Structure 1
Amino acid sequence: MSVTLTEAAARHVTRYISKRGRGVGVRLGVKTTGCSGLAYKLEYADEVAPEDVVFEGHGVKILIDPKSLPYLDGTELDFVREGLNEGFKFRNPREKDRCGCGESFRI
């Protein structure tokens, strides 16, 4: 099992953690919500919990709770700028469908 992030995502996370003055990486997970059933959760993490599964890429730690890992296996986290918008993008090969508003997905 693995979860990765692009250089662009790693640069963004590193810059943000530096501005915050604390943090060990990002915590990625899923929650039940939306039209299709699941939505991504992403937050900055200040510590590694004992149950976290830890992946690292480009010097950034990605922390995932064990319940979310089967839904996220193979996912690549990217940071993209499209016109005036910018944000994280999830490339999950396990996604079968995504709702029209882009808020949730189905495995």
Structure 2
Amino acid sequence: MAKILNITPAAAERIKELAVSHVGQRLRLSVVKSGCSGNGYDLSFVEDAGPVDEKVCEHGAEVLVDSKSLLMVFGMTIDWKEDRFGRQFTFENPLEAGRCGCGASFHM
């Protein structure tokens, strides 16, 4: 059975680093309306989990997945990339049908 969400070791380390400054909060992944393709990913620290959020733990990091977004991120991989142009979380989602020209938003 496929996993809800895959977290790479690099992403897990970054999540754990960020969690240090967000004591008492948990990282939550949601799909929000955004950009020219219609959808975007939102990673936010929240005080409380939603009543039906899914909890994913991998490599010592925890991410809550918004229940409304669950079907849109099933099987997705979150990674942390650093290069000379910047540092950011990346999302590889096998359910995406395409992305906008700048890559900031996607459609299904």
The TM-score with structure 1 as length reference comes to: 0.89
The whole-number CA distance in structure 2 between the counterparts of 1:62 and 1:87 is 16
Where 2:50 maps in the other structure, the secondary structure is coil
Residue segments in structure 1 that go unaligned for 5+ positions in a row:
none
The whole-number CA distance in structure 1 between the counterparts of 2:25 and 2:56 is 12
- What amino acid is the match of 1:38? N
**Post-superposition, which runs of at least 4 consecutive aligned residues in structure 1 deviate over 4 A?**
none
Q: Please tell me whether the aligned partners of residues 22 and 46 of structure 1 are also in contact (alpha carbons under 8 angstroms).
A: no
Q: Indicate whether 1:13 and 2:28 are aligned.
A: no
Judging changes above 3 Å, is the alpha-carbon distance between structure 1 residues 23 and 11 closer, same or farther for their aligned structure 2 residues?
A: farther
- What amino acid is the match of 1:17? A
The whole-number CA distance in structure 1 between the counterparts of 2:99 and 2:78 is 17
Map 1:1-107; keep pairs closer than 5 Å.
Answer: 1-18=3-20, 20=21, 22-107=23-108
- What amino acid is the match of 1:4? N
Where 1:13 maps in the other structure, the secondary structure is helix
The TM-score with structure 2 as length reference comes to: 0.88
Residue segments in structure 2 that go unaligned for 5+ positions in a row:
none
Deviation of residue 28 (structure 1)?
Answer: 0.5
CA RMSD of aligned residues (A): 1.5
Judging changes above 3 Å, is the alpha-carbon distance between structure 1 residues 44 and 21 closer, same or farther for their aligned structure 2 residues?
A: closer
The whole-number CA distance in structure 2 between the counterparts of 1:48 and 1:72 is 18
